[in-house]
Each structure stands twice: as structure tokens, then as C-alpha cells.
Amino acid sequence: MKFDYDAQYFNPRDVLECGQVFRFYPFEEGYRVFSADKECYLHSDGIKTVVESEDTDYFYDYFDLARDYSRIISAARAFGVKVLDEACDKAAGLRLLNQDKEEMIFSFIISQNNNIPRIKGIISRICEGLGQKTENPRGAYYTFPSASALASREADYYKSLGAGYRDAFICDTARRIADEGISKLFNLSDEDLRRELLSYRGIGPKVADCISLFGFGRRACFPVDTWIEKLYLEDFGGQPADRKKINAYFMQMFGEYSGYIQQYLFYAKRSNL
């Protein structure tokens, strides 16, 4: 089964290469993309972007296709910020994903002080070791393991897969989620969700904001990393400040659009688009 969408506001490269997702790789004319236990083939001819999957409803939501991103681009331009206008010109095909919540918790624990190729490798090895092997016409893949499966291993297992000091964070958080679940997080306010995420071992402010934005759909979040610090200093005339102050500055400026704008700015800055 498959469906297509206007490529102007759905560019596979922009969506996948902007740092919000780690389980994908180039395949034929596009990419294979994995989320939880599901898979799709994503490709585009520059006019239409096509999603092929046995789980089309899931991926329609995953790629946030019910949302009109032309309106989001218009709202971003209305702030009258030159660097943001330029980012919107270059990355209009970017969309924020609605990803699996548990997967995002562990993925962004792994992401801290790490680079994207290494993050992808660690997650891939975890899936191969603890996920379920699944077959479809495009070939085999491994599902993202449940918290219970992750909790079944000791920290040294994750160290052996390259997780480094994050090994204990994965292990401890997996055991907590296996015991408690995460349903209690679903209906919290943005502030309370962030506070609760910070109570998990290995989750700091930036990781909590990423999990909130990419896993829980909290679009007013504005994660701050080294690229955003650089942007703040070089493009917004900011003075050296801690990340809490930078976060507050951008959230006050961009309000409910903070998450979208963060991705436009981050992706354009990091990629030098």
C-alpha cells in the first residue's frame, strides 16, 4: 500500500537528515524508515513524495501529514527574522515527526554528547540484539525492543555495543519503564512532562526537550545544543549565556511555534544550507 504528498512540504532528506530521527538508511531511490515495530519506504521525485508501507495510517501520522506546513512556514516568516526566513527558504520540506515515545526516550539518552553516525550505529546494534527480526518484500529489519527486553540486560551489555557511559542510563531507565510504564506522562503539561523526564537517570534539559518535541509532540519546546548556542551568538546577537537562558529567550520569542522554528534554524545552521 502507498500514498503520496506534495514534495514542497515533504522532502525526505530534510525530514530525515535534520537530527530528529536515527532509524533509517538509504534504499533504492529513497530511504527505508523504521519506527517501533514498523517500516516504510520513502522516496520522492521532487514533485510528489511517496510512502510505501503495510502501515500507511501509522506513517501518515508519523510524518505529521494532517498538518498544513505552508501555514507554519507563513507563521515563521511573520516573525520578520532574516536568518529564519532564509532557513524557511532552504528547508521548507522539513516536517516534525510523531515518533514512538519509548523509542525516543532511549534514542535521545543515547544521543547525548554523541554524533549522528555513532548514535545510529548504537541503536541499530541494540535493535539487532534485542529486537524482533521481521521480514517484508524490501528485506529483513529489526524492531525497536520493548523496555522489558532492554531491562533484561546489564549495563555492560550496552557498553559492549558502544554506548559508553550511557550504558547505565539505558539499563536504569529501561528497568524503571518496564516497572512503571510511561502512560502517566501522556497528559502532563509541557512543564510537568519536562520535570518528570528529568527524573529519569541520564536525561538532562536538552534531552528532555528533544523527547518532548519529537516523542510527545510538544511543539512549544526548543532544545538547545551547541548549534543553537552558535546560532544565538552569531545570528541573534546574543551574548554568552547558559543554555537555560538561551532556551527561555527563544521560547519567549517564538511561543507555540518554537519547536518547528528550532528545527528550521538548527537544520539550516548545521547543514550550512
The yes-or-no answer on residue 206 being catalytic is yes
Name the catalytic one among 206, 230, 244, 245. 206
Residue-level pLDDT, tens digit, the chain, 273 residues: 999 999 999 999 999 999 999 999 999 999 999 999 999 999 999 999 999 999 999 999 999 999 999 999 999 999 999 999 999 999 999 999 999 999 999 999 999 999 999 999 999 999 999 999 999 999 999 999 999 999 999 999 999 999 999 999 999 999 999 999 999 999 999 999 999 999 999 999 999 999 999 999 999 999 999 999 999 999 999 998 999 999 999 999 999 999 999 999 999 998 875
Q: How far apart are the first and last CA of the chain?
A: 34
Smallest Cα–Cα separation from 245: which of 236, 147, 270?
236
Burial zone of 45 (CB within 10 Å; 0-12 exposed, 13-18 middle, 19+ buried): exposed
Query: What residues contact residue 10 under an 8 Å CB cut-off, 6+ apart?
Result: 44, 49, 63, 65, 69, 93, 95
